[in-house]
Structure 1
Amino acid sequence: MDAQQTSIAESCLNAAYDKTMAFPEIVGTLINAGFEGYVVDYRRNTTTYFLADGDGVTLENRSSEEKVAAQFDQPGIVAQIRWAQANPPDYSYMAFCKNVKALGCAGYIVSFLGRRVLYFGRTAETHVEHFPQ
């Protein structure tokens, strides 16, 4: 991975927190830079971005005190996803992260190739969200 790709990944992560880019724009930027997906790990407080050749970069997420709840509340997590997709004025990525952790989401995998996001809990329960057409 080159320095420019690392910088792009950092910029996209910061843009999510700062609400300066919406998810579709972040996805497009990462794809154009050669990434094929990323993994958010709420227990380790990291996001790892992957290239097609297997190389990647792991970045620290912004600090958060919330712990991942034991119970995976799929309907609650889906409601948070819909909130994020609607992107209303009160939406923030930091609040989304806090809320889904409280609902038992331990992290999620974004696959640009598969055009989906897989949310998972501590017990490996999952919810798959396909990218809009």
Structure 2
Amino acid sequence: MDADRITIATTCLTAAHDGSLGFPEIVGKLIGAGFEGYAVDYRRNSQTFYLPDGDSLALDMPASEGGIAAAFDADAVQTLIRWAQANPPDYSYAGFSTRVKAAGCAGYLVSFSGRRVVYFGRTAETHVEVFPG
């Protein structure tokens, strides 16, 4: 992977965690750099960015508090997504990560071309969230 894309992916990962960019801005930067999506793995505390040609870049994420609950609560995950989308003053990605893990989310896959995010639990239960219009 070229240095410019590595820099963009690293910048977007950092921006998600420090709150300097929101999800729409991060998606725009990643699409502009040619990425087709990314995956967040809370079990490994890593985020992998994917290019259409099969190339990928895995980066370590800052660990969030708490563990991943055994049971996947799709309703709680959806509520947390709505909280993130509303972006109220008390929102942070670290807080989202802690709470979504407590709702049993082990990770999620973002598809730019599919315009959706698939959240999954330890038992492969899922919640699919389509990008807002």
- What is the TM-score normalised by the length of structure 1? 0.98
**Is 1:91 equivalent to 2:91 in the alignment?**
yes
Find the counterpart in structure 2 of residue 18 from structure 1: 18
Aligned ranges 1:113-128 → 2 under 5 Å: 113-128=113-128
| Seq. identity, % | 63
Find the counterpart in structure 1 of residue 71 from structure 2: 71
Q: Secondary structure at the match of 2:54?
A: coil
Quote the Cα distance in structure 2 between the aligned partners of 1:64 and 1:94: 6
> What count of residue pairs does the alignment treat as equivalent?
133
Unaligned runs of 5+ in 2: none
Quote the Cα distance in structure 1 between the aligned partners of 2:70 and 2:78: 17
Find the counterpart in structure 2 of residue 5 from structure 1: 5
**CA deviation string 1:109-132 (max 9, x = no partner):** 000010000000001000000001
**CA deviation string 1:26-45 (max 9, x = no partner):** 00000000100000000011
Quote the Cα distance in structure 2 between the aligned partners of 1:13 and 1:71: 27
Q: CA deviation at 1:103?
A: 0.6
Q: Secondary structure at the match of 1:132?
A: coil
Q: Secondary structure at the match of 1:109?
A: strand
Q: CA deviation at 1:67?
A: 1.5
Q: Secondary structure at the match of 2:36?
A: strand
Find the counterpart in structure 1 of residue 61 from structure 2: 61
Quote the Cα distance in structure 2 between the aligned partners of 1:87 and 1:64: 19
Quote the Cα distance in structure 2 between the aligned partners of 1:72 and 1:63: 20
Q: Secondary structure at the match of 2:38?
A: strand
Q: CA deviation at 1:65?
A: 4.2
Quote the Cα distance in structure 2 between the aligned partners of 1:64 and 1:77: 16
Quote the Cα distance in structure 2 between the aligned partners of 1:19 and 1:6: 19
Moved over 3 A (4+): none
Q: Secondary structure at the match of 1:35?
A: coil
Q: Secondary structure at the match of 2:30?
A: helix
Q: CA deviation at 1:63?
A: 2.1
Q: AA paired with 1:107?
A: G
**CA deviation string 1:35-57 (max 9, x = no partner):** 00000000011000001101010
